[in-house]
Chain A
Amino acid sequence: MIEVIDLKKEFNIISPVLKITQGSIKAVNGVNLKINRGATLGLVGESGSGKSTTGRLILRLLEPTSGRILLEGKDISSIGNRDFRKLRKDLQIVFQNPYSALDSKMTIEDILIQPIQLHKIVHPLDYRNEVYKLLEMVGLSKKDSTKFPHEFSGGQRQRIGIARALSTKPRFVVMDEPVSALDVSVQSQILNLVKDLQKELDLSYLFIAHDLSVVRHVSDEVAVMYLGKIVEKGSADRIFDSPKHPYTQALMSASPVPELGVKDRRIRLKGEIPGGFNVPTGCSFHDRCDFKMDICERIDPQEIQLSDYRRISCHLYNGEV
């Protein structure tokens, strides 16, 4: 469905005074991903790891520095803007903050009609019916179409955000932290909705979140990102039940479990994720890793595939290919 090959994005840092480039940050540094039709890939990592940038690159909301993005085999990374606009309706996004993602001066009807009109999804006489259909699909009612965003709660607004993303009948949707701004009781409603819609409409998702339990709940496959690179990816159950990369292990062990008597099995990481300016040489995780070997400081590990189809970039598993 969607395949990403060696995707890279560098942001140039330009001095505000001298207007010259001072350096660059490799926000996404050679990412390979594949998402099947009707499947969800969960993308996890600490803030600053490049998750959101990856999502935006796939939708070409940001132009990649290099790499290829294939939509059903067709390269969409290099086609011109005019042609890409026709494809735009197949690729949508739901944003994190439902408060700022909707125009406060537009009614819900206007918000939903705009993309339908732009992409000529239905005949103009059917606009209103289409809006009602969308609202119903996300669990809102016809009456809501004349209201403004501020009349809704956070969860309802996120439903509108989802309706807007689905208005163009997309095949692929990037969910960029869709529930992290919501309350727990509302979060589960939205997660159930997202899963139901996927089944109904055969959608593919890239689900970006920092809450690992949310990602486990929705994902078929998981990719763990650190400083612009994917360090481990594979089936969600396998990765959550037996994480192999030291970073994945640390991340999972730090997630608190809502149960008593669970022993603190936390693996302590040294320091914090470094800024994009001072990425360490070799494996970018080596300075925080407990299993560091000499080779890790010098050579960036290649991605290898383990016997359970999990792909991992870590020198510890070099012997297991």
Chain B
Amino acid sequence: MNVLEVRNLKTYFNINNALYPAVDGISFYLKEGETLAIIGESGSGKSVTALSIMGLVDEPGKIIHGEILFEGNDLLKLKEKELKNIRGNMISMIYQDPMMTLNPFNKVGIQLEEALLVHGKASKKTSKSMAIELIKAVGISDAEKRFSNYPSQFSGGMRQRLMIAMAISCNPKILIADEPTTALDVTIQSEILELIRDLKKKNNMSIILNTHDLGVVAQMADRVIVMYCGKVMEESSIGNIFNNPLNPYTINLMDCIPRIDKKKDRLNSIEGYVPHPTEYGSGCRFYDRCNRRMDLCNEKIPPLLEIQDNHFVRCWLYNSIEK
């Protein structure tokens, strides 16, 4: 069953009175209990996708088209009041930088209590004990004592645990994790990933994981979307993406990464840079950097086609072999 379905979502940004696409017509679904990884470099639109689902896109950004169906209801049609019942309650999000998202002037326990009270998950009597339970649930020892500490008294990894505690406080159906471990050391990263995996199993959550780290994807994801410049370039199961990538962007990206377990003499690299939205032409946005570009690619954006079973690719190379 799909808990979330995004249909042709377009989130554009207004720069100097012209609209530029950050997310440009993406569609995807999220099944119950599934982890969907969205891979992309900066500027690919993965964070804006997450913010669009949360209803947190701010000026100058605007969702100009599309539907975001959560359990059949279009979130974009809901009033702010109705949305509040879903945001943080049914769908919650953790961010890259736990330093920025906790209030430095408030005890962490109080901040957790607040989340519970706002969403009516606890009464004033029970909120404290529930907050302590949450602190325990994310693996912080001495929860009773830590309840009255301030964010600055926690390390980076601990703060990310607290963020997760806050995000899961209302037992959400969907957890959106936007680069949750990018700011952390590898040793802490692996602990946080394990925590997310455990909580997912325990609470039967579905997860959208935004990341640029293919190593993290390999550990966590069931299905993968590869984004580039606001468009989905490839979508398939984790197995297909790693063992049989088809889009030249995905193939090259896989070859770019140095490996800890093997010595590579020279890294493959993708020439050029990710273009800015103001520089998009009418053709494929990867055209300038692609090593298999053809004339056609510069003229028209290729459609996203199902090349093999459940393997979608946006590339003119595969145009003739549509299933």
A191–B215 CB distance below 8 A: no
Residues of A208-258 whose CB lies within 8 A of B: 210, 212-214, 216-217, 237, 240, 250-252, 254-258
A257 to B270, alpha carbons, bound, how many Å?
21
A18 within 8 Å of B (CB atoms): no
Q: Considering only CB atoms and an 8 Å cut-off, how many residues of chain A contact the other chain?
A: 41
A251–B257 CB distance below 8 A: no
Binds A, one of B48-56, B183-191, B315-323: B183-191
B186–A212 CB distance below 8 A: yes
A217 to B264, alpha carbons, bound, how many Å?
7
A186–B260 CB distance below 8 A: no
A64 within 8 Å of B (CB atoms): no
Which chain B residue shows the least CB distance to A247?
Answer: B187
Contacting residue for A256 out of B191, B215, B252, CB 8 A: B215
A250–B213 CB distance below 8 A: no
A47 within 8 Å of B (CB atoms): yes
A267 to B236, alpha carbons, bound, how many Å?
31
Query: Known contacts A251-B186, A269-B187: does B218 contact A256 (CB below 8 Å)?
Result: yes
B33 within 8 Å of A (CB atoms): no
The listed residue with most B CB atoms (<10 A of its CB), out of A188, A262, A272, is A188
Binds A, one of B66-74, B106-114, B237-245, B293-301: B237-245
A259–B218 CB distance below 8 A: yes
A259 to B158, alpha carbons, bound, how many Å?
28
B259–A256 CB distance below 8 A: no
B242–A46 CB distance below 8 A: no
A260–B218 CB distance below 8 A: yes
Which of chain A's residues have a CB closer than 8 A to the CB of B186? 46, 210, 212, 251, 254-256
A189 within 8 Å of B (CB atoms): yes
A188 to B218, alpha carbons, bound, how many Å?
20
Report B262-297 CB contacts with A as 1/0, cut-off 8 Å: 011011111101100000000000000100000000
Which of chain B's residues have a CB closer than 8 A to the CB of A254? 186-187, 189-190
Which of chain A's residues have a CB closer than 8 A to the CB of B254? 258
Contacting residue for B269 out of A188, A255, A262, CB 8 A: A188
B86 within 8 Å of A (CB atoms): no
B263–A183 CB distance below 8 A: no
A184 within 8 Å of B (CB atoms): yes
Contacting residue for A188 out of B217, B257, B273, CB 8 A: B257
Which of chain B's residues have a CB closer than 8 A to the CB of A255? 186, 215, 260
Which of chain B's residues have a CB closer than 8 A to the CB of A256? 186, 189-190, 193, 213, 215-216, 218-219
| B251 CB, min distance to chain A CBs, angstroms | 12
A185 within 8 Å of B (CB atoms): yes
A114 within 8 Å of B (CB atoms): no
A153 within 8 Å of B (CB atoms): yes
A213–B259 CB distance below 8 A: yes
The listed residue with most B CB atoms (<10 A of its CB), out of A153, A185, A188, A252, is A185
B261 within 8 Å of A (CB atoms): yes
A260–B239 CB distance below 8 A: yes
Query: Known contacts A217-B258, A217-B264, A250-B187: does B218 contact A184 (CB below 8 Å)?
Result: no
Contacting residue for B218 out of A216, A217, A258, A266, CB 8 A: A258
- The prevalent SS among residues of B at the interface is helix
B266–A212 CB distance below 8 A: no
A192 within 8 Å of B (CB atoms): yes
Which chain A residue shows the least CB distance to B259?
Answer: A213
A192 to B264, alpha carbons, bound, how many Å?
11
| B248 CB, min distance to chain A CBs, angstroms | 12
B78 within 8 Å of A (CB atoms): no
Which of chain B's residues have a CB closer than 8 A to the CB of A269? 187
Residues of B192-217 whose CB lies within 8 A of A: 193, 212-217
A153–B273 CB distance below 8 A: yes
Which of chain B's residues have a CB closer than 8 A to the CB of A272? 155, 157-158, 187-188
Residues of A82-114 whose CB lies within 8 A of B: none
| A286 CB, min distance to chain B CBs, angstroms | 16
A149 within 8 Å of B (CB atoms): no
A161 within 8 Å of B (CB atoms): no
Which of chain A's residues have a CB closer than 8 A to the CB of B158? 272
Contacting residue for B252 out of A185, A191, A264, CB 8 A: A185
A257 to B258, alpha carbons, bound, how many Å?
10
| A157 CB, min distance to chain B CBs, angstroms | 11
A257 to B187, alpha carbons, bound, how many Å?
14
A184–B253 CB distance below 8 A: yes
| A321 CB, min distance to chain B CBs, angstroms | 29
Which of chain A's residues have a CB closer than 8 A to the CB of B269? 185-186, 188-189, 192
Which of chain A's residues have a CB closer than 8 A to the CB of B193? 256
B42 within 8 Å of A (CB atoms): yes
A176 to B157, alpha carbons, bound, how many Å?
23
Query: Known contacts A216-B263, A272-B155: does B257 contact A258 (CB below 8 Å)?
Result: yes
Query: Known contacts A240-B260, A252-B260: does B218 contact A183 (CB below 8 Å)?
Result: no
Contacting residue for A183 out of B156, B212, B264, CB 8 A: B212
Which of chain A's residues have a CB closer than 8 A to the CB of B189? 254, 256
| B143 CB, min distance to chain A CBs, angstroms | 16
| A23 CB, min distance to chain B CBs, angstroms | 18
Query: Can you add 15 more A-B contacts, CB < 8 Å, to A216-B259, A254-B186?
Result: A47-B185, A156-B273, A183-B274, A185-B253, A185-B289, A186-B270, A186-B273, A189-B270, A189-B271, A213-B259, A252-B260, A257-B260, A260-B242, A272-B155, A272-B188
| Chain B residues in the interface with A (C-beta under 8 A) | 41-42, 155-158, 185-191, 193, 212-219, 238-239, 242-243, 252-254, 256-261, 263-264, 266-271, 273-274, 289
Q: List 7 A-B contacts (CB under 8 A).
A: A47-B156, A184-B41, A186-B270, A257-B260, A258-B215, A260-B238, A272-B188
The 7 closest A-B pairs by CB, nearest first: A256-B215, A217-B258, A258-B214, A183-B41, A188-B269, A188-B267, A185-B270
